[in-house]
């Protein structure tokens, strides 16, 4: 019974993919296709492109990414807690405050060590 | 699930998707008109003007002229243009990913709407030809609605990242990198800011949250800080100014969609506006009472009249929010990148955590 509710989403997914692909096929039939070497070049403001794009790239925010994973999982834990919070009483509050405090200390530590500094 | 349910679902999907795509076309016109109004211009008022000189249309001129003046034919002209322009695929792209990106963007934007109610759900009393009550939601009865919307919302960023990566263009690549940085920063306040309202309403189901607000007060009154944090994060998640760094026309020439033309560009555009619509629905449902009109509506009212009143109230609130989002675009300048990251990590996440602890404590005190 519960699964059949999710079937509606499955139907919508099929529709959505159809809505996305059908115009792409239609446009092949309707739109003109006149190829040219200039058209196919990479557009970088009219300047001839130099060097590769797919190079090794230092993503400056990888420390943010690590923190994100920690906090994202924490958020997921908080959802069931929040939804059933009123049935649980003071104990749930204290427990969650301890959990959040540990994470807040982690964030404060990362902040103090300069992980949140944009290089 | 019966055949009737299936047919009803097909019908609802066709209506909702059809209307939302039409609405998006006209939202672009509204956006351009608001931009014009903010900058003291007239805005689009030309499309269709040459029609008036055609012999067949001369008699319709008094009827057409005011429509053209308001720019009402522009969305139609834009739509036709998307289809009949040449769809250039640059020679150096990664083709499979390049084609997948717009499909992904638009699919995710569409299916995110599945659990969003656009009117009353449950015993609505709005009977459709004797087949039972109409549920104003595509997939009713899913009790983890919010989680679903957020899950799909995070998948939507893959469209942007794949587009930026596969384009083999440095500007696009930078746009994609910025987009993922923005996602990992604003996903957290977005998720944390609504925990307060979930805690108060005791449910992850969007309908249950509306019902609570209908019985008590609007979410914005019990969670003002949560509302503010959610609103700001929603701007960032939908890539709207002042957080539109993945696109930023002036520095990245459009960012991730620089190499896209004609219909594929239009698909990104459509996806983006669908996200704005979904975000406005979520803000309305979580914080502005959904279909609730204070002192007027309640859940017990049934029948077509009240159902339509509620649908209209919800759509009106959503419309006003969308206009607010467009208005902000012409009010606030774009953030610099480090400012954007600082705002999320050093201000919004600590505030969201504080808001959660404070809410939990107060709820416990009020109950005890």
What are the distances in angstroms from CA A76 to CA A86, B151, B168?
Answer: 18, 11, 35
For the entire predicted model, the pTM comes to: 0.89
- pLDDT one-digit tens code per residue, A8-34: 888 888 888 988 888 888 888 887 877
| Beta-carbon separation of A31 and B84 below 8 A | yes
Block residue for tokens 């800080």 = B225
With CB atoms and an 8 Å threshold, state whether A5 touches B102: no
Report yes or no: A50 at the B interface, CB cutoff 8 Å: no
From B45's Cα to the closest Cα of chain A, the distance in A is 26
Chain B residues with beta carbon closer than 8 angstroms to that of A32: 84, 86
Lookup: tokens for B233: 């994060």
| Residues of chain A positioned with their CB less than 8 A from the CB of B147 | 79
Between B252 and B328, name the one with better pLDDT. B328
d(CA B265, CA B285): 31
Contacts of A48 in chain B (CB under 8 A): none
Question: What would the pLDDT profile of B138-183 be if each residue is shown by its tens digit?
Answer: 877 788 888 888 888 888 888 888 888 888 888 888 888 888 888 8
Quick one: tokens of B256? 């991730």
Nearest to B357 by CA among A78, A88, A72: A78
Residue B119: which of B316, B307, B318, B320 has the closest Cα? B307
- For B331, how many CA atoms within 13 A lie in the half-sphere containing its CB? 7
Share of chain B above pLDDT 90, in %: 10
Cβ–Cβ < 8 Å for B333, B242: yes
Report d(CA B72, CA B80) in Å as an integer. 14
Q: Which residue of A has its CA nearest to B6?
A: A8
Q: A3 touching B, CB under 8 A?
A: no
Q: Any idea what DSSP says for residue B348?
A: I
Write out the two tokens for A66.
Answer: 């690590």
CA pair distance B85, A42, nearest whole angstrom:
19
Tell me if chain B has a CB within 8 Å of the CB of A23. yes
Q: What is the pLDDT averaged over residues B227-238?
A: 90
- Burial classification of residue A2, based on how many CB atoms lie within 10 Å of its CB (0-12 exposed, 13-18 middle, 19 or more buried): exposed
| Contact across the interface for B353 and A104, Cβ inside 8 Å | yes
A35 Cα to chain B: minimum distance (Å): 8
User: Which residue of A9, A57, A83 is in closest CB contact with B114?
Assistant: A9
* Per-chain mean pLDDT for chain B: 84
The chain A residue lying nearest B147, using CA atoms, is A79
Confidence of residue B228 (pLDDT cuts 50, 70, 90): very high
Sign of torsion, CA B150 B153 B155 B157? Answer: negative
Mutation for testing the B interface, residue in A8, A58, A113 having most B CBs under 10 Å = A8
Across the range B355-360, mean pLDDT stands at: 90
Alpha carbons within 13 angstroms on the beta-carbon side of residue A119 total 9
**pLDDT: which is higher, B228 or A39:** B228
ipTM of the complex: 0.85
- Sequence-distant (6+) residues with CB within 8 A of B261 are B85, B86, B87, B88
A66–chain B Cβ distance below 8 A for any pair: no
Domains along chain A? 2-112 (1.20.58.1610)
Q: How far is CA A24 from CA A18, B92, B103, in A?
A: 10, 20, 9
Question: pLDDT class for A119, splitting at 50, 70, 90?
Answer: low
- Look at residue B133 and give its three-state secondary structure: strand
C-alpha distance from B181 to closest chain A C-alpha (Å): 7
Residue B131 pLDDT: 65
CB A31 within 8 Å of CB B86: yes
What would the mean pLDDT of B285-310 be, rounded to a whole number?
82
**pLDDT tens for each residue of A36-69:** 777 777 777 667 777 777 777 777 777 888 888 8
- Residues 6 or more apart in contact with residue A106 via CB below 8 angstroms: A70
């Amino acid at each position: 019974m519960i699964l059949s509710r999710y079937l509606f989403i499955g139907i919508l997914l099929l529709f959505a993919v159809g809505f996305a692909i059908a115009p792409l096929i239609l446009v092949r039939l309707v739109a003109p296709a006149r190829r040219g070497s200039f058209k196919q070049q990479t557009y970088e403001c009219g300047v001839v492109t130099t060097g590769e794009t797919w190079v090794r790239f230092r993503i400056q925010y990888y420390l943010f990414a690590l923190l994100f994973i920690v906090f994202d999982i924490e958020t997921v834990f908080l959802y069931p807690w929040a939804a059933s919070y009123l049935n649980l009483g003071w104990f749930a509050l204290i427990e969650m405050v301890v959990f959040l405090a540990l994470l807040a200390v982690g964030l404060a530590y990362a902040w103090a060590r300069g992980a949140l500094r944009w290089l | 699930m019966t055949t009737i349910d299936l047919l009803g679902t097909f019908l609802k999907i066709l209506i909702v998707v059809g209307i939302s795509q039409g609405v998006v076309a006209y939202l672009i016109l509204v956006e351009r008109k608001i931009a014009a109004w903010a900058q003291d211009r007239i805005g689009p008022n030309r499309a269709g003007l040459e029609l008036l000189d055609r012999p067949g249309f001369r008699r319709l001129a008094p009827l057409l002229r005011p429509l053209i003046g308001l720019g009402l034919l522009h969305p139609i002209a834009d739509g036709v243009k998307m289809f009949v322009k040449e769809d250039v695929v640059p020679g150096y792209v990664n083709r499979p990913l390049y084609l997948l990106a717009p499909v992904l963007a638009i699919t995710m934007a569409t299916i995110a709407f599945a659990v969003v109610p656009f009117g009353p759900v449950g015993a609505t009393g709005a009977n459709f030809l004797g087949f039972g009550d109409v549920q104003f939601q595509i997939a009713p009865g899913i009790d983890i609605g919010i989680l679903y919307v957020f899950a799909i919302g995070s998948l939507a960023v893959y469209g942007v990242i794949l587009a930026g990566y596969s384009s083999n263009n440095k500007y696009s690549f930078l746009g994609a990198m910025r987009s993922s940085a923005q996602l990992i920063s604003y996903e957290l306040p977005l998720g944390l800011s609504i925990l307060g309202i979930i805690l108060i309403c005791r449910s992850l189901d969007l309908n249950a949250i509306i019902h609570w607000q209908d019985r008590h007060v609007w979410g914005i009154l019990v969670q003002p800080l949560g509302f503010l944090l959610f609103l700001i994060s929603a701007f960032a998640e939908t890539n709207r100014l002042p957080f539109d760094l993945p696109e930023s026309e002036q520095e990245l020439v459009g960012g991730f969609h620089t190499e896209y033309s004609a219909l594929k560009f239009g698909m990104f555009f459509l996806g983006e506006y669908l996200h704005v619509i979904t975000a406005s629905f979520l803000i309305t449902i979580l914080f502005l009472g959904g279909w609730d009109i204070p002192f007027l509506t309640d859940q017990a009212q049934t029948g077509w009249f009240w159902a339509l009143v509620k649908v209209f109230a919800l759509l009106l609130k959503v419309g006003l929010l969308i206009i607010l989002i467009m208005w902000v675009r012409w009010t606030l300048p774009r953030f610099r990148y480090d400012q954007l990251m600082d705002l999320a990590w050093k201000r919004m996440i600590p505030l969201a955590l504080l808001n959660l602890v404070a809410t939990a404590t107060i709820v416990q005190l009020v109950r005890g």
